[in-house]
A and B are shown apart, each in its own frame.
Chain A
Amino acid sequence: MKLTHSAAFLAAFSMVSGMAAAETTLSVLIDNNPETVTLMETLAAAYTAAHPDVTFDIEQRNGGSEGDNLVKTRLATGEMADVFNYNSGSLFQALNPATTLTDLSDLAAQANVVDSFKPTVTAPDGTVRGIPFGSAMGGGIYYSRKIYAELGLSVPKTFDEFMANNAKVKEAGKVPVATTFGDTWTSQLFVLADFYNVQAENPNFAADYTANKAKYATTPGADRGFKYLEDVFKAGYMNADFGVAKFDDGLRMIATGEAAHYPMLTFGIGTIKQNFPENLNDVGFFAQPGPTADKNGLTVWMPSALYIPAASENADVAKDFLSFVASVEGCNTMIGATGATGPYLIKGCELPADVPPAVADMLPYFQGEGMTAPALEFLSPIKGPALEQITVEVGSGIRPAAEAAALYDQDVEKQAKQLGLPNW
């Protein structure tokens, strides 16, 4: 295979246009989020237009832990596609990147990638193994601009103000906080998106947490996210079907003005744009408020990344494709495909002026100094797998918040041991 490929490459380089080149088919595995699919299909079409000898075979997989499982198994058995997308940060570390992925440190296009992204796809040996795919996201709270206008509410800067708004929304007969525990992962937002506030109080939390010195249960303020879940449940601020409602229901509720708030990552904007285009301007966004108004900032999620497995037989073509994705041209192709959903991590890739309000609400945090913090999963390789079940318990009144934080500390231990971290 190697021989024929270099031959194909030589041929492609020396070929006068119009003559048939040896064809390469790049296999691609991506998650089945509609936005991801649109992005990849558009990128692939654009690349094939410029390189007619390269075609794509795009395969979709489930997200969540089922997807994690599939990606790990296919990597381990050498059955992975030539290019695949997967989370950066702690989930990337669990792939054993130093042995399973191709080293992309020397890729010329790495010069285009914003430096803050690189640590989240860097293997323990210091080599960079991925390039960003899609835009950075904020974790916080969507709000219905319609309901806010009707009730004369203003964007809360503290959690108390947030709860006061909720009280008024409930009085008006609307759902204060859309809650969708039918998709368990959506239950984690209050905890994960509170990390800006946790770090503002405890600047060393991430490092101490990785070193087994700091705990959610015992660090002051760290368990606040769990308490928020408990407060919202106790006040009865959720929709009646909160236990079975799904992510799509949450987006519907916030888009159509059934609910006033929905704690979520901003990547939902793309889906709102597809499913409720006429409601796109009714949805706003704010960072999760903390205890005080003077420290108000956004917890940021890095985009997922594209990787090439070490076992790929088309690594050279795949690298060239990734270089395209990491270029300004590739970035503009992505914006053209789904519209701007957040800042892209490619230098020189500017967002258009007419972004949806929820995105416009998020951008000022990125422009201000010290107004963003990466989510914990991008600062520490450990994330406990049972967090989503634990947050469902707290949010459904099954387990008190204080106990939940301690339980999560126990859950995290397994991940740390599996990674073989020191001090655990």
Chain B
Amino acid sequence: MAQKRASPYPYWFVLPSAVVFITLFLVPTLVSFWFSLTRWDLFTAEYIGLDNYRQFFKEPFLVQGLINTLIYAVTTSGAKTVLGLLLAVLLTSGIWMQSFLRSVVFFPVLVSTIGVGITFTVLMHPTKGSINIALSYLGIDGPTWLADPALALYSVAFIDVWKGVGLATLIYIAGLAAISPDYYEAARIDGATRLQQFWRVTVPLVRPATVTVITLSLIGGLRSFDVIWATTRGGPGFASDVLASVIYKQYQAGFYGLSTAGNVILFLLIAVIVIPMTAWFQKRELDL
């Protein structure tokens, strides 16, 4: 593996994709590093060294935004992993209308995030929303889901999970299908209960799927923006602000250099978290 093999393709063969990659990805990335060092108003850019980074870290909402980002990424990723696995087990158990139910679980993934956000804003309205009206029949006085500072972030995380769990389920269904029935048969012969089969056979053997689900949903959670923007816009106040919404608000305010610096920081943060994590997972996989 260490030895580099010559590519079987001639250079002109990769040229089209190289041009696309360089002009649309590599150049903008490098240019954004430059603009993050300037005071930029889209017309002129004045070099100001690391001032944008200093300003960004002085941002009073940044610390809360960072903490919220981590809470959001870990909750949504955790919930998607657990729920995704449980749903996948349910939906491969041969229950009634299995394929129909599979598509029902996957359906929210296909719907526009903005549409989902707007729908939930209506459902979660404190006095006129269906959720609180339903709760009131049970005698429960429902909270202000999206405008209560202690609750807003988790309400949005719930919406994100509802929308995204279908993808996790799909990956897990594929992972479960790859487990040979022989293992279950052997376990049954040894007298394992259904629960033991789940813990001792399913969970360890579905590992590659778990790695994929955690990695994808964690990256998604760390840079999550659309659900938050469609529901709370980071509010009330800054209670559900995440790194991406802080950056977007700076961009909206016309602080282009500052928000570019924020994006560079977000990029580094994701890299710092995800690269060691994937490496660790891969190493564990080899050990197995």
Contacts and interface: CB of A to CB of B under 8 A. Distances in A.
Interface of A: 65-66, 68-69, 72-73, 76, 94, 96, 99-100, 181-182, 184, 240-244, 385-386, 389-390, 392-393, 396, 398-399, 407, 410-411, 414-415, 417-418, 420
B273 to A, nearest CB: 27
Nearest to B122: A244
Contacts, number: 93
Interface in B134-161: 144, 146-149
Given A184-B233, A389-B234, A389-B235, A243 B148 contact: yes
Interface stretch (B23-31, B39-47, B79-87, B201-209): B39-47
B251 interface: yes
Interface of B: 39, 41-43, 46, 51, 55, 58, 60-61, 121, 125-128, 144, 146-149, 233-239, 249-255, 258
Given A76-B42, A410-B60, A396 B252 contact: no
Contacts of B144: 241, 243-244
A163 B235 CA distance: 27
Contacts of B121: 244
Closest 6 CB pairs of A and B: A243-B147, A393-B237, A385-B253, A76-B42, A65-B252, A69-B252
A415 B253 contact: yes
The secondary structure that dominates the B interface is loop
B237 A418 contact: no
B234 A420 contact: no
A398 B249 contact: no
A390 B253 CA distance: 15
Given A68-B252, A415-B253, A389 B238 contact: yes
B237 A396 contact: yes
A418 B42 contact: no
B147 A396 contact: yes
Contacts of B55: 414, 417
A393 B39 contact: no
A37 to B, nearest CB: 22
A398 B236 contact: yes
11 contacts: A69-B252, A69-B254, A73-B42, A76-B43, A99-B43, A240-B126, A243-B147, A392-B235, A398-B149, A410-B60, A415-B253
Contact of B60 (A65, A407, A420): A407
A72 B254 contact: yes
The secondary structure that dominates the A interface is helix
A291 B170 CA distance: 63
Contact of B239 (A184, A386, A398): A398
B125 A241 contact: yes
Contacts of A241: 125-128, 144
Which of B233, B236, B258: most chain A CB closer than 10 A?
A: B236
Contacts of B126: 240-241, 243-244
A257 to B, nearest CB: 18
B235 A184 contact: yes
A418 to B, nearest CB: 5
Contact of B127 (A66, A96, A240, A414): A240
A418 B251 contact: no
A418 B236 contact: no
Contacts of B251: 69
A94 B238 contact: no
A378 B124 CA distance: 39
A244 B41 contact: no
Given A243-B126, A392-B235, 17 more contacts: A72-B42, A76-B42, A99-B43, A100-B43, A240-B126, A241-B128, A243-B148, A244-B126, A244-B144, A385-B249, A385-B255, A392-B236, A393-B237, A396-B236, A411-B60, A414-B258, A417-B39
Nearest to A244: B147
B42 A386 contact: no
Contact of B254 (A94, A99, A181, A411): A94
